[in-house]
Amino acid sequence: MIWNPWKALAAAEQEIARLRNLIAERDEENDTRLREIGEVRLRAKLAEAHVAKLTKDLAEGHFRNPKTGRLGRKGERFK
């Protein structure tokens, strides 16, 4: 039985406000995490594209043989 309904109403409204703030904070944390995950995925894609470009450049390049000083075949690499 509620003796003071106005006090109970105020307490309920405070609890609702606290829970709404908690939900908003968690939503902000989730948004931040999603943005960070998106950034990581974008950086991974950019790194893959960069590696692919460098690999293509290596396959099309002519490198000099350090022992003989002559140019090797296209894409041939020497140690």
Task: Give the amino acid at 63.
Answer: F
- Cut 0.85: pTM above it: no
Q: What is the DSSP string of 12-61?
A: HHHHHHHHHHHHHHHHHHHHHHHHHHHHHHHHHHHHHHHHHHHHHHHHH-
Average pLDDT over every residue of 64-79: 84
Residue pair 62/53 in contact by the 8 Å Cβ criterion = no
Per-residue model confidence as pLDDT tens digits over 8-66: 999 999 999 999 999 999 999 999 999 999 999 999 999 999 999 988 888 888 788 88
What does the domain layout of the chain look like in residue ranges? 44-79
Decide if pLDDT at 1 tops 70: no
